[in-house]
Every structure is written in structure tokens, then in C-alpha cells.
Amino acid sequence: MAHIDDPDTQKANLAYIKTSMNAPMLEKEHEFDLARRWRDDKDEAALHEMIQSYTRLVISVASKFKHYGLPLGDLIQEGNIGLMQAANRFDPERDIRFSTYATWWIRSCIQDYVLRNWSIVRTGTTAAQKSLFFNFRRLRAKIEGNQEKEGLNNKDRKKIAKELGVKVKEVEAMEGRLAANDQSLNGFVGEDGNAERLDFLVDENQDPEKTVIGMKDSQARSKWLSDALSKLTDREQKIIKERHLTYDGVTLEKLGNDLGVSKERVRQLEQRAMMKLKTTLQKETPDVRNFFLEE
């Protein structure tokens, strides 16, 4: 939805635009002289004259972004920031007109402002997505103008994605974003209008209470296991840890080679160690069933 300024703001904008349009145009040599005076001597009068002469350029660029529903005055102010940045970086020795150089800076500042304020949801986080945001409507209108029905199909989306160097799923996402306005979670929905959108959002995550209980239980299990392991011999601890407490348990054969015993002997030691652990846990744990996670 387009933004509509109040009468006083409209009047102020018109006065500013009229003043800008009446500012004298600069000849090339005079423009370069002003740029040198600002660059070399920090002559603020020269900077002011150059900026004032090109505010008409800001207005021209800003007017192209009015359909994004943002105040024209704000677009102009952002463009003026870009104009001042351009003046601060302009090098007259390159022999290009200031208007050519400044246009990029003006457009960049205005585009950044649009992306920050068009929606409360962040849009266009990469250069490719930024290009998609500002070119999608133009490309869609061009495609729809060449076919009888409105709307894009998968072939059209692939064409846009290829032209702008983005993924098809990004085109689909931008199509959906541009087709709908932001909606408040506290907005009323339903036939009777008494329910809020927030009421229909479901959090699939575990509730905080269960999360905390799970953490406490996990800490308790770790302590029980650590205490039980401490009752084993060093060799038994090594077998249990490497067979059951590592991501990839080692084989009986490898453990046998490390310990200098047979594979069968390692199996016997493992069984004895497991029985010791079970006995210790049954004796020292309030309820051994608490040691095991519920399915």
C-alpha cells in the first residue's frame, strides 16, 4: 500500500522539489573546480553549491521507488546522504561528470533504505537477493505481458532465476513475499473474529520445564555412571570406554592386541565389567530404572 503524506508534509515536499528544480545547472569545468576546492581545501561553500545543484538528481531517482509504499521525503533524504557520500569521494581527475558518479551512490542508499523499511522481515541479505527484490516486478510484468494469462509458472521462475543469478526457490520465496503484506500476530482471524493469529502458532520444541528436567537427569546419569566406572580396574574401564562410550566402538580383536590378550579374553572381561557396573548401579542408584531414558 502506498504511503500518503499529510497535507503539511506534501506542501513541504513540493516546496523542496521546486527549490531543487530551480537550482542552476553546473558547467563541466565549474563542477570540477568545485570538486577540487572541496577535495583539496575542504571548502564547504563549494560542497554546498555542488550538492544543491544535484538535488534534482536525487528527486529523480527517489521518485522511481515511490511504489514501495514509503514516504517520498524519506526517500529523498536517503538519496541526499548518497549524494553527499558521492561528493566526498568524487575525483574530478577521472574526467567523468559528477551526475554519472553520484547516481550509483544515490540509488544504493535509497535501495538500502527500502530494504530496511519495506517490511519488518529482513529482505535481500545478499547482492543477488537485492537484485531479485528490485527487478522481480519488472521481469514478471515483462513475462506476463508476453502471455495471455497472469501469473508465473515454473518455466517463468527458472527464466527469472537464470537472468538474475539466483536459485528458483529464492524466486518462489520473493514472489510470495511481494504478494502479501506483513500481518500482525495479534490480528484477529476466524469467523467470529475473536481469535488472534498468535493462537494458532504451535511451538514444536519441548517446553522449558521438560528441557531443564532433562538436563538435570542427564547430569545425574553422568555422575552415576562415572561413580560406577571408578569401581572398575583400569583394564576394565578401558574396555568399557572404548567398546561402549565412544562414537565408533573398537573391535574385540583390536582391544585384544592393545591389551596383549586374546579376543575371547577381552569378551570375558567385558562381560565381567558390565556385571560389575550393573551391580554398582543397582546398589547406589535410588531407582536403577531412572538411569535409562524413556522411549
pLDDT (tens digit per residue) in 227-281: 888 888 999 988 888 888 887 788 888 888 988 999 999 899 999 999 988 888 8
Tell whether the model's pLDDT for residue 67 goes beyond 60.
yes
Residue 68 is given by DSSP the state G
How much is the average pLDDT of 88-96?
93
Write out pLDDT tens, residues 10-31.
Answer: 899 999 999 999 999 999 999 9
Cβ 9 vs Cβ 73: under 8 Å = yes
Q: What angle do CA 13, 19, 21 make, to 5 degrees?
A: 100
Q: Identify which of 57-71, 144-158, 211-225 has the greatest average pLDDT.
A: 57-71
Q: With a cut of 60, say whether residue 86 has pLDDT above it.
A: yes
**The predicted structure's pLDDT at residue 38:** 95
Element (H, E) at 189: strand 188-189
DSSP element (H, E) containing 93: none
Cβ atoms of 19 and 199 closer than 8 Å: no
- Per DSSP, the three-state class of 119 is coil
Q: How many CA atoms lie within 13 A of 35 on its CB side?
A: 28
Judge whether residue 46 has pLDDT over 50. Answer: yes
**Class of 1-118 in CATH:** mainly alpha
| Residue 133 pLDDT exceeds 50 | yes
Q: Which fold has domain 209-291?
A: Arc Repressor Mutant, subunit A (1.10.10)
Which one-letter amino acid corresponds to residue 20? S
Residue-wise pLDDT tens digits, 151-203: 778 888 888 888 888 888 888 888 777 766 656 666 777 667 677 767 777 77
Which range, 95-109, 148-162, 212-226, is most confident?
95-109
pLDDT at 115 over 80: yes
> Of 158, 92, 169, which is closest to residue 129 (Cα–Cα)?
169
Residue 41 — pLDDT band, cuts 50, 70, 90?
A: very high
**Three-state SS at 203:** coil
The 10 Å Cβ neighbour count of residue 251 is: 13
Q: For the chain, give the longest Cα–Cα distance.
A: 99
Question: What mean pLDDT value characterizes the chain?
Answer: 84
Report the percentage of the chain scoring pLDDT > 90.
34
3 state DSSP class of 215: helix
Strands 195-196 and 188-189: antiparallel
pLDDT at 120: 61
Which cell numbers hold the place of 141?
A: 510484468
- Write the secondary structure of 26-49 as one string of H (helix), E (strand) and C (coil): CCHHHHHHHHHHHHHHCCHHHHHH
What secondary structure does DSSP assign to 204-247, as a single string?
A: -SPPHHHHHHHHHHHHHHHHHHHHHHTTS-HHHHHHHHHHHSSS
Among residues 291, 295, 261, 294, the alpha carbon closest in space to that of 277 is found at: 291
Report which listed range, 86-90, 193-197, 210-214, 288-292, is most confident.
86-90
CA distance 274 to 239: 10
Q: What's the rounded mean pLDDT across residues 83-90?
A: 95
CA–chain centroid gap for 211, Å, is 28
Cβ contacts of residue 8 below 8 Å, gap of 6+?
none
Whether this model's pTM surpasses 0.85? no
Answer whether residue 295 shows pLDDT above 70: no
Q: How many residues does the chain have?
A: 295
